[in-house]
Each structure stands twice: as structure tokens, then as C-alpha cells.
């Protein structure tokens, strides 16, 4: 049996990094009833939580809850998932590392460009969670 890969440790963000915080993005797609809510929680200690929730009328919400590490290198935000819905992930699978170009980051707005297109998010209070 192969030894289990060591879980990477997160590196704290640079003091004053504008990406630290809770960021909520709400979007919809043509032809799809309802909306997709994404909450990015980027903590100053370098840990992150990513929650995605599909909200449809008259249907229970469906969701995804990932946690791991994040880093901000130049104009790039990197999210590295270590756990998905409470289970450890294959750290060698590239699907668990996502890169976004930071187009705008200020006190209220975050705009990113990623593999699935543009993300527009607004800053939420530190304890904000998605309602179910």
C-alpha cells in the first residue's frame, strides 16, 4: 500500500490583502430555473471555504461544500480544495485546484475571471452563511 499523501498546510495571507473576507456571487443561466449562489470565504490564515448552492423554486437546495487553502499571487487567486463535502480529495487531481484572474478587489466588490467565465461577488459580513 502507498503511504497517504501529507495534507498541505495553508500559508497566511499578506497583511491587508483585499481578498480576505466573505464574498457572495449569485448568478443564473439561460434556460435554467433558479440561481446558483457561491460563497467564497477567504480567511487571513490562508484557509478557505467554498460553498455552492443551486436554488430552484419549489425544490430543496442542492449544494457543494469545499474547504482547503487559498493564495493570492500577483493578479491570480488560487483555490486548492483539500476536502469536498467532508471527504478528503485526491490531491493529484487538477480539478481541485482553481485559478482565477483578479480583475477587481476593493472593500465591497470582487471580480474574477476563471475557467467558467466571469465571477462578480460582493463582500458579506464575516459570519455570513448561505441560507438553506
The domain locations on the chain are 21-124
Q: Does pLDDT of 1 surpass 70?
A: no
- Rounded to 5°, the CA angle 130-72-105 comes to 60
Cβ–Cβ contacts within 10 Å for residue 96, how many?
A: 17
Q: Does pLDDT of 2 surpass 50?
A: no
Residue 73: closest CA among 11, 30, 122:
11
Domain 21-124 has CATH 2.40.128.20: yes
Q: Quote the percentage of the chain above a pLDDT of 90.
A: 72
- Rounded to 5°, the CA angle 49-44-65 comes to 0
Total-model pTM: 0.89
Residue 5: predicted pLDDT:
59
Amino acid at each position: 500500500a502507498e503511504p497517504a499523501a501529507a495534507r498541505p498546510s495553508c500559508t497566511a495571507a499578506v497583511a491587508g490583502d483585499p481578498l480576505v473576507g466573505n464574498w457572495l456571487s449569485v448568478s443564473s443561466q439561460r434556460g435554467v430555473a433558479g440561481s446558483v449562489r457561491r460563497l467564497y470565504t477567504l480567511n487571513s490564515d490562508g484557509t478557505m471555504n467554498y460553498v455552492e448552492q443551486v436554488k430552484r423554486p419549489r425544490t430543496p437546495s442542492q449544494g457543494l461544500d469545499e474547504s482547503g487553502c487559498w493564495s493570492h499571487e500577483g493578479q491570480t487567486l488560487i483555490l486548492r480544495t483539500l476536502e469536498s463535502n467532508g471527504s478528503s480529495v485526491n490531491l493529484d487531481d487538477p480539478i481541485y485546484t482553481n485559478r482565477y484572474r483578479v480583475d477587481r478587489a476593493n472593500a465591497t466588490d470582487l471580480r474574477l475571471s476563471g475557467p467558467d467565465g466571469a465571477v462578480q461577488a460582493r463582500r458579506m459580513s464575516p459570519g455570513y452563511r448561505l441560507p438553506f
